[in-house]
Structure 1
């Protein structure tokens, strides 16, 4: 009786462990948490600088393309939905659907980068540059840093799309898809915070 009880408890513990395990590769999650910590420090520095120079930050924020920022936010949210659908598809062993959803996420990432590059061009045309003032330094540094993270996410997804095409993922083995999805969601989350903090908050 005791052995049966012990086995049941062990099985229950294993089931709970499986349910609470992070999706994807653990090493990537360590990297994700490190990246989130870096962004948190940068956001805190921005908030403190804004508190000390609120008039400057408000006047400079008025120059930003909020509509473009909102569109980019919707684009990234849509891309996160796409990678979530890719994960659901591969867990159902629908490999082709998974690849199509990943391609959709990649395309939306490309749209984001294109729109952001156009915004950077507009910013330069109106005289925004790192050395102009404190707001410009934070705005350009934060958004370009995030821009590079979107580019990295697209590289990761490109590799996963290639592996999916080669048939390396299935319902039984799809850590790569979950890893790419987790990183993509992190990039999306950071942009939402950045958009609210830099474009919206007054």
Structure 2
């Protein structure tokens, strides 16, 4: 029985341990913002419901699909790099980044549409939260894209026999946090009434 335990590989968190501290901190920060939104909404239910109707749920749903697909592609990239398949890994990574860039483009179009309607950060309490939450999330998407792009450059520069997925695992862990945050943010801000 003891030999069975000895032959099993030890489980570890993927990526650098420091990224997990960042993930916990960012998760807690967004958690506080989500709670503040929910409690403020209770006190201003009619305003929040009326303002929420001005959001395009379809665009939010497309952005959700883009981020979920991007995360799946990034996970496939990690698996490919672990298997020493640099070209395949770079292809999946590029597809994941394309999904993230699609998210950014749609979010910027959504902001432009709100601006054209005269809706901004100080329009009302709902839109204060909307722009703060989605803007803070957008900054995380951009940071994730930067990290993934740097990992892609690192993969191109690695020697074929010395493939190392550690940096990509680290960036992927952060990218999955970005995805998870959107999976809470989208229904909370766009859908729940």
TM-score (ref. length: structure 2):
0.94
Which residue pairs with 2:42 in the alignment?
A: 51
The answer to whether structure 1 residue 41 and structure 2 residue 32 are counterparts is yes
Which residue pairs with 2:13 in the alignment?
A: 22
Q: Per-residue deviation at 1:12?
A: 3.1
CA-to-aligned-CA distance 1:79-118 (integer Å, 9 cap, x gap): 0010010011112211110111111111111111011000
Structure 1 residue aligned with 2:176, among 185, 188, 192? Answer: 185
Structure 2 residue aligned with 1:110, among 94, 101, 112? Answer: 101
- The 1-side partners of 2:162 and 2:52 are apart by 47
Which residue pairs with 1:12 in the alignment?
A: 5
CA-to-aligned-CA distance 1:138-194 (integer Å, 9 cap, x gap): 001100100110000000001100001112687863111111111110001101110
Q: Is the 8 A contact 1:91 1:170 kept in 2?
A: no
Structure 1 residue aligned with 2:126, among 122, 135, 138? Answer: 135
Which residue pairs with 1:95 in the alignment?
A: 86
Q: Give the secondary-structure state (helix, strand or coil) at the position aligned to 2:84.
A: coil
Q: Is the 8 A contact 1:24 1:179 kept in 2?
A: yes
The answer to whether structure 1 residue 166 and structure 2 residue 167 are counterparts is no
Aligned residues: 193
Gaps of at least 5 residues in structure 1 are none
Q: Considering only CA atoms, is the larger Rg found in Structure 1 or Structure 2?
A: 1
- The 1-side partners of 2:173 and 2:161 are apart by 18
CA-to-aligned-CA distance 1:45-91 (integer Å, 9 cap, x gap): 00000011110000000000110010000000000010010011112
Which residue pairs with 1:154 in the alignment?
A: 145
Q: Which moved more, 1:140-149 or 1:169-178?
A: 169-178
Q: Is the 8 A contact 1:25 1:176 kept in 2?
A: yes
Q: Aligned Cα RMSD in Å?
A: 1.9
Gaps of at least 5 residues in structure 2 are none
TM-score (ref. length: structure 1):
0.90
Q: Is the 8 A contact 1:77 1:188 kept in 2?
A: yes
